[in-house]
Amino acid sequence: MNAPLNEHFLSNLRSEALALPESGIVEVMNIGRNRQGLIPLWVGEGDVPTPAFICAAAQASLLAGETFYTYQRGIPELRSAIADYCTRIYGDFHGKPFSPKRFFVTIGGMHAIQTAVRMIAGSGDEILVPTPAWPNFAGALIAAGAKPVDVPMLLAARNGAAANWFLNIDDLQAAVTPATRGIIINSPSNPTGWTASREDLQQILDFARAHNIWIIADEIYGRIVYEGTRAPSFHDIMQPDDKIMFVQTLSKNWAMTGWRIGWLEAPPEMGQMIENLIQFSTSGVPVATQRAAIAALQQGEAFVEAQIAKLRGNRDLICEALNGSGVHFAKPAGAFYLFCRIDGAEDTRKLAVELIEQANLGVAPGSAFGTGAEAYIRICFARKPEDMIEVARRLRHWLAQRG
């Protein structure tokens, strides 16, 4: 943790910057980052490096001298590749293939979120955020001067099924005020694994239409589901004039977290505004990185399918290993996290530090994920299966010792 600033510096700093909280995930990472033998499960990435064919595309670009400024919206070849990919995954967009004009290349998903937020929310505005939620949503809103409004999701059994997370539309309705400008929907969810059904999405879309607010749809885990080939998407039910922007990234599907490349999908009419925001923030994405993204989208399907198969096995392994151990969770339908509660644990930041020191495991504290998450920890299971076997062994041993 950094030393506090003295009043001399504080007097001239923006309130938006001062209001930004320290990342609860990064705080715990910094405690255990270099600990020998620790298994890191705290961030949303696996242990597989980027495939060689993706790296080779970037290398070829660099060797060809593509090291200059480029299109702010993304090189045409990549925008076309994204459009083709979306057509393959979601089908036609109202009778036609997706248009490249809908896609804007960004420095990762986080930049896409910031760009979307900047267009719809600022000082005094409110954005609804179903929680538990990835903490960067709130961070992006606070940085823009807007207010994140937590709408806690519920964990309960419904219709005879096992307990799972769900979003109550009545709770959304109750959270709306005249300052509400939008809602962020992350499905499949980080951290809970909640995966909205088509009916859920239709209710949310009807709600947004009724209140004339925007939906920022974070569907970056949409391919990582354990039944079917993809999660339901707002693409399945939306009309061309619906106020929806989609956030995407290359990070999760193609093991490209460190490359920092993603895209924002939005109505083409918003293109100049988005181009301006990109120009005045990053001035575009390096061409070599974009060439790597093209290779991933066009040649990477077998890699994605193999990773999902591994993740399915890891999910089942860790869930089966922890059943009956005093660890409580809803088996995630999507994404690659186990969001779980441990009997008797109230301070999950303290619990995360204990797991570092006593079990040599790095997890994310639930306190980082907003209202309703305080009693939980998040375990990323995107690692090789033998690591997950060891994780389960260490957890069960630690739980036994803890009593």
Q: Which residue has the higher pLDDT, 401 or 160?
A: 401
At residue 210, the pLDDT reads 98
- Residue holding tokens 């036994």? 400
Q: Does the pLDDT of residue 1 top 60, yes or no?
A: no
pLDDT band, very low/low/confident/very high, at 34 (cuts 50, 70, 90): confident
At residue 403, the pLDDT reads 65
Q: Does the pLDDT of residue 393 top 70, yes or no?
A: yes
Whether the full predicted model's pTM is greater than 0.85, yes or no, is yes
- 67-299: CATH, from 3.40.462.40, 3.90.580.10, 3.40.50.2000, 3.40.640.10: 3.40.640.10
7-50+302-396: CATH number: 3.90.1150.10
Give 273-310 pLDDT, tens digit per residue: 999 999 999 999 999 999 999 999 999 999 999 999 99
Give 108-138 pLDDT, tens digit per residue: 999 999 999 999 999 999 999 999 999 999 9
Residue 13: Cβ within 10 Å count: 10
Mean pLDDT taken over the chain = 94
Give 199-257 pLDDT, tens digit per residue: 999 999 999 999 999 999 999 999 999 999 999 999 999 999 999 999 999 999 999 99
The rounded distance, in Å, linking the Cα atoms of 273 and 394 is 51
Q: Does the pLDDT of residue 9 top 90, yes or no?
A: no
Q: Where are the domains of the chain?
A: 7-50+302-396, 67-299
pLDDT band, very low/low/confident/very high, at 11 (cuts 50, 70, 90): confident
Give 45-102 pLDDT, tens digit per residue: 999 999 999 999 999 999 999 999 999 999 999 999 999 999 999 999 999 999 999 9
Give 345-386 pLDDT, tens digit per residue: 778 899 999 999 999 999 999 999 999 999 999 999 999 999
